[in-house]
């Protein structure tokens, strides 16, 4: 089925019908943020599930109960998805929430609150590869076609949640001062304990080194891949077929090198560079 058939459209974005509805979008519009809410925001495939593991562990001082007993989509539910209205009353404060939305789509209460935002970015070349494979395994996303065809869709933003450059510009230009922290997937790969430490202090938690290392261990790729509460194995195969591509696929940086031709790389980099012209921030990765 096509993107149009599988999606509903909301303020210029395509959203998967399987997990979003008119009601869920109304629910987010009226959603009441609390001052101690923690919202992890990502463009898809940037480290969303990873943050859904890290943040609840930090907020619970390293107690493993949330990651061992609650699936990630209920532990840190997506603001925009249908599931939120079902689980919202069960969330304990401080609540961990997740979103793929643009800053401009945050509800009014977000702006009136002191809720904190963790924005996770990933090298867009690796996002494109990860998203390509996810389109193979997820029945609620359109067939990706060839990698070449998928790259066209990625660069045009003809995918669920729109264009990557729009997403990053939206949140990088958000005037949230000390309410937002920017993290990269690559930093998490490089030194997860250091990222856990800086997130802990951002969230006002003073965790011991022992707890920080415990959290980093439980959030490693291999441990998460074997955690049924986090590896999406609880989702029926008709929605996500892990035999086509596992959700926790490779978990590395630089896999794009195994996929891009030199011509695709040239086109990808020049398109992104052009879209970034005039922005006051720089990207944390070299585009070449
Ligand atoms: S989604 O669909 O937007 O929620 O996907 P998201 O969770 O953002 O991204 C999935 C990719 O993140 C990788 N991942 C990890 N990498 C390293 N370590 C850990 N712990 C980890 N957890 C998830 C996952 O493998 C996907 O990347 P790829 O490159 O496809 O492996």
Phi–psi pair at 201, nearest 5 degrees: -70, -35
Distance CA 97, CA 113 (A): 14
Distance CA 224, CA 216 (A): 11
Q: What is the pLDDT of residue 288?
A: 72
Could you tell me the distance, in angstroms and rounded to a whole number, from the CA of residue 130 to the centre of ligand 1? 8
pLDDT digits (tens, 9 = 90+) for 7-41: 999 999 999 999 999 999 999 999 999 999 999 99
The three-class DSSP label of residue 210 is helix
- Which atom of ligand 1 is closest in space to residue 47's alpha carbon? 8
Q: What is the pLDDT of residue 213?
A: 98
pLDDT mean over 242-271: 97
Contact criterion met (CB below 8 Å) for 192 and 251: no
Distance CA 43, CA 54 (A): 17
Mean pLDDT of all residues belonging to the chain: 97
The three-class DSSP label of residue 24 is helix
Euclidean distance between the first and final Cα of the chain, in Å? 34
Contact criterion met (CB below 8 Å) for 66 and 75: yes
The residues, any chain, with a CB within 8 Å of residue 288's CB and separated by 6 or more, are: 265, 269
Q: Is the CB of 200 under 6 A from ligand 1?
A: no
Distance CA 76, CA 78 (A): 7
Q: What is the pLDDT of residue 25?
A: 97
Q: Which domains does the chain have, with CATH numbers?
A: 14-275 (3.40.50.300)
Instruction: Indicate the burial class of 39 (C-beta count within 10 angstroms; 0-12, 13-18, 19 or more).
Output: buried
pLDDT mean over 212-227: 98
Residue nearest atom 23 in ligand 1 by C-alpha distance: 50
Q: What is the pLDDT of residue 287?
A: 78
Residue nearest atom 19 in ligand 1 by C-alpha distance: 221
Q: What is the pLDDT of residue 154?
A: 98
pLDDT digits (tens, 9 = 90+) for 68-125: 999 999 999 999 999 999 999 999 999 999 999 999 999 999 999 999 999 999 999 9
Q: Is the CB of 52 under 6 A from ligand 1?
A: no
Distance CA 212, CA 194 (A): 9
Could you tell me the distance, in angstroms and rounded to a whole number, from the CA of residue 208 to the centre of ligand 1? 27
Residue nearest atom 9 in ligand 1 by C-alpha distance: 45
Q: Is the CB of 251 under 6 A from ligand 1?
A: yes
Q: Is the CB of 221 under 6 A from ligand 1?
A: yes
Residue 24 to residues 28, 44, 84, 90: CA-CA distances in angstroms? 6, 19, 8, 17
Could you tell me the distance, in angstroms and rounded to a whole number, from the CA of residue 188 to the centre of ligand 1? 12
In the structure, what pLDDT confidence band is assigned to residue 49 with cuts at 50, 70 and 90? very high
pLDDT mean over 59-74: 98
Would the pTM of this model clear 0.95, i.e. be above it? Answer: yes
Q: What is the pLDDT of residue 286?
A: 85
Q: Is the CB of 105 under 6 A from ligand 1?
A: no
Query: Residue holding tokens 């209920």?
Result: 74
């Amino acid at each position: 089925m096509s993107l149009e058939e599988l999606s509903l459209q909301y303020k210029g974005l395509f959203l998967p019908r399987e997990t979003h509805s008119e009601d869920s979008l109304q629910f987010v519009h009226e959603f009441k943020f609390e001052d101690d809410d923690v919202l992890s925001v990502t463009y898809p495939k940037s480290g969303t599930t990873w943050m859904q593991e890290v943040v609840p562990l930090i907020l619970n001082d390293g107690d493993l109960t949330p990651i061992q007993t609650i699936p990630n989509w209920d532990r840190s539910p997506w603001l925009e998805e249908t599931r939120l209205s079902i689980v919202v009353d069960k969330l304990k404060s401080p609540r961990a929430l997740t979103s793929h939305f643009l800053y401009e789509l945050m509800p009014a209460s977000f702006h009136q609150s002191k809720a904190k935002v963790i924005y996770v970015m990933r090298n867009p070349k690796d996002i494109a590869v990860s998203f390509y494979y996810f389109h193979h395994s997820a029945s609620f996303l359109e067939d990706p076609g060839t990698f070449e065809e998928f790259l066209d869709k990625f660069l045009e933003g003809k995918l669920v949640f729109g264009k990557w450059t729009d997403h990053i510009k939206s949140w990088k230009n958000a005037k949230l001062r000390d309410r937002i922290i920017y993290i990269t997937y690559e930093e998490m790969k490089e030194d997860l304990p250091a990222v856990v430490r800086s997130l802990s202090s951002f969230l006002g938690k003073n965790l011991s080194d022992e707890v920080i290392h415990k959290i980093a261990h439980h959030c490693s790729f291999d441990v998460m891949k074997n955690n049924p509460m986090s590896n999406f194995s609880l989702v029926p195969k008709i929605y996500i077929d892990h035999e086509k591509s596992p959700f926790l696929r490779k978990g590395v940086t630089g896999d794009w090198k195994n996929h891009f031709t030199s011509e695709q790389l040239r086109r990808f980099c020049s398109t992104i560079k052009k879209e970034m012209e005039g922005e006051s921030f720089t990207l944390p990765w070299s585009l070449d």
